[in-house]
Amino acid sequence: MFKLYLFSIVSFFFIMSCANIIPLSGGEKDITPPEIIYFEPKTKSCNFNQKKITIEFDEYIVENNVKKEFFSSPALNNNPIITIKGKKAYIELNNELKPDQTYILNLDNCFKDLNEGNVLKSLKYVFSTGENIDSYVLSGLIKKTPNYIEPLVFSDKMYVLVYEKKPDSIIRVREAKYIVKMNNKNEYKIENVAKKEYEIYFLIDENENLQYDLGEVIGFERNDTIFTFKEVNKKILTKDTLKQDSINYENSLIIYINSKKEHIKIIKLYNEKYEEVKSFTINQSVKNKNDTLIIKNLYPGKYSLFVFEDVNKNKKLDMGDFINKILPEKILYQDSTEIRPNWDHQILINL
């Protein structure tokens, strides 16, 4: 009997040692962001006079870079104090609110769930200190940047800014009446605004200092379309920035320009990094004027060639003025070409 008992124990441990231990499955991964259960007071409340707003979610939440992501329209003098307890977020307003004003608290990307970190990407709280919520909508398209600068890349640094009057000399984000962080690089939509005339601008705040700096992408609105550009191209290729070597590529780019128009033209050559490689100015003051440009010993690679009309005849390319709403000078011609070593390439331009 003892032997049989001992044999059973040994057999049990032998079987257990040979078995594969498989952890229990927890099911599919949660990829759903938190959902709102209720607001207190309700969103889009009128005659608002509360100091605290409560938002309850369907799961436990944590903050997600609130200091960077939160903003309000119009801007508050002091950002509210946002705290979280379990499934609730509390927003304490430590500001004197303007009378008869609709406020939009942008809480996009401010909260995420505790377990999986799923971010709630779209969340706004709207209220009015007056009798009504403003219901006017501003919307339109955003044109791509000119092809001689980098194309627009969607990021959280893109803003559409709405002002009640034209800024004096500089764009500051927090001075705008309405502030919208973009969620689509091709169009904009601003809800709950008062119906009146506005000055609308676009900004990619690359250094995140909440104001426009020369060299950043800027834009202005005209007929429900925002035109984007850079007032200054800081990417100019010089001998100091070129990789120096002893290779003589023995190539040339020959540009023939035939024009029937009497105007000054600016010709610019850019590389794949949108760096200006060469620039020329041609004064064609006679009709049917022909000109030839020769560029020698270029680094092999792909290039883009542009011809601009020098409208104000100052013999330089004016790339736009956002304050005075002046667009960059007109592109008369554009093309791309590839330069190879020991190879002559010709381009014929008829204007």
**Domain check: are 149 and 223 in the same one?**
yes
247 domain-assigned: no
Looking up tokens 């060639």, which residue turns up?
305
174 domain-assigned: yes
8 domain-assigned: no
Q: Which domain holds residue 119?
A: 36-128
In this structure, the number of other CB atoms found within 10 A of the CB of residue 90 comes to 15
Can you give the pTM of this predicted structure? Answer: 0.80
**Domain check: are 346 and 330 in the same one?**
yes
Q: Which amino acid is at 113?
A: D
Among candidates 234, 217, 73, 106, which has minimal Cα distance to 158?
A: 217
C-beta separation of 299 from 339 below 8 A: yes
**Domain check: are 215 and 147 in the same one?**
yes
Q: Would the CA dihedral through 154, 156, 157, 160 be positive or negative?
A: positive
41 domain-assigned: yes
**Domain check: are 262 and 346 in the same one?**
yes
Q: Output the pLDDT for position 252.
A: 87
Among candidates 337, 336, 318, 339, which has minimal Cα distance to 327?
A: 318
92 domain-assigned: yes
How far does CA 51 lie from the centroid of its chain? Answer: 33
How far does CA 297 lie from the centroid of its chain? Answer: 37
Q: Output the pLDDT for position 331.
A: 94
Q: Would the CA dihedral through 313, 319, 323, 325 be positive or negative?
A: positive
Q: Output the pLDDT for position 26.
A: 54
**Domain check: are 267 and 206 in the same one?**
no
22 domain-assigned: no
**Domain check: are 305 and 271 in the same one?**
yes
Looking up tokens 């990307």, which residue turns up?
109
Looking up tokens 């005209």, which residue turns up?
222
In this structure, the number of other CB atoms found within 10 A of the CB of residue 83 comes to 13
C-alpha count within 13 angstroms, C-beta hemisphere, residue 277: 20
Final residue of a structural domain among 229, 244, 270 = 229
6 domain-assigned: no
Based on the structure, what is the number of domains in the chain?
Answer: 3
Q: Output the pLDDT for position 242.
A: 42
pLDDT tens, position by position, for the chain (351 residues)? Answer: 444 444 444 444 444 444 444 444 556 777 899 999 999 999 999 999 999 999 999 999 999 989 888 989 998 988 899 999 999 999 999 989 999 999 999 999 999 999 999 999 989 999 999 999 999 999 999 999 998 888 888 777 899 999 999 888 889 998 999 998 876 678 899 999 999 999 999 999 999 898 999 989 999 999 999 999 999 876 776 554 444 455 666 788 999 988 877 778 899 999 999 999 999 998 866 565 788 889 888 889 999 999 999 988 898 899 999 989 999 999 999 999 999 888 889 999 888
20 domain-assigned: no
In b/e form, how buried is each residue of 129-149, taking b as 16+ CB within 10 angstroms?
beeebbeeebebebbebbebb
Q: Output the pLDDT for position 239.
A: 52
Q: Output the pLDDT for position 21.
A: 43
Q: Output the pLDDT for position 42.
A: 97
